[in-house]
């Protein structure tokens, strides 16, 4: 791999790290909102959906981490 392509991949890693940070922030905000739901909504469909959203966002963050690791192995 030449230097130009390595440079492009390094830029991709930076963008992926930014994306992961955004996803993590949204996940944290959703988790905080879930924690702050009133007691009468803690076992509701709303709470279940919020919890599923957090789980899905964590999976996205993990997938981004995997992509970053794979790219870094190539560089």
For the chain (length 75 residues), average pLDDT per consecutive 10? 96 98 97 94 93 97 98 95
Total domain count for the chain?
1
pLDDT at 21 (0 to 100):
98
Residue with tokens 């879930």: 34
pLDDT at 7 (0 to 100):
97
pLDDT at 23 (0 to 100):
98
pLDDT at 74 (0 to 100):
94
Q: Which domain holds residue 14?
A: 3-74
pLDDT at 72 (0 to 100):
97
pTM: 0.88
- Residue 12, burial from CB neighbour count under 10 angstroms (0-12, 13-18, 19+): middle
């Amino acid at each position: 791999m030449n230097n130009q392509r390595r440079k492009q991949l390094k830029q991709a890693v930076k963008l992926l790290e930014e994306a992961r940070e955004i996803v993590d922030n949204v996940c944290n905000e959703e988790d905080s909102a879930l924690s702050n739901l009133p007691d009468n909504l803690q076992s509701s469909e709303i709470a279940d959906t919020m919890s599923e959203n957090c789980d899905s966002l964590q999976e996205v963050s993990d997938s981004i981490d995997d992509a970053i690791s794979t790219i870094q192995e190539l560089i």
